[in-house]
Amino acid sequence: MITMTRRINHVGVAVKDLEETVKFLEEILDLKPVKEVEMPKMKAAFIPVGDGEIELIEPTDPELPIAKFIVEKGEGLHHISIQVKEIEKVLEELKKKGVKLIDEKPRIGLHGVNIAFLNPESTKGILIELCEGNP
């Protein structure tokens, strides 16, 4: 059996307005982003909290799954990212255990490291992202 969990890497939060949410967190909780990223279909800000981060994500393309998430469920917790070693081996092990995978193979995420999502149908409704490496 693979020892999978190292730590929570980040908590992903879907937001409608990244600038407004960053401003709120700065003013109310004195939490400041260390990095902001703008990509063709989304914007993100990374706010360190303890050993992990809050990852704020604003979709700029209404066809993205996270944009549809906001329409259906509103802003809020989108996913939990768990840092693992040897992500491909972890995915193989989970698949053998019957866990449905959104990503059969790892891909590069916003942090520039390998990620893969597990299907919430297999994880009690929680969208879990596996993250290999430390951003």
| pLDDT in the model for residue 3 | 57
Q: Which fold has domain 7-132?
A: 2,3-Dihydroxybiphenyl 1,2-Dioxygenase; domain 1 (3.10.180)
**Domain boundaries along the sequence of the chain:** 7-132
pLDDT per residue as tens digits for the range 109-119: 988 899 999 99
* pTM exceeds 0.85, yes or no: yes
pLDDT per residue as tens digits for the range 74-130: 999 999 999 999 999 999 999 999 999 999 999 999 888 999 999 999 999 999 999
Q: Give me the DSSP letters along 49-91.
A: ETTEEEEEEEESSTTSHHHHHHHHH-SEEEEEEEEESSHHHHH
Place of tokens 């989304």: 42
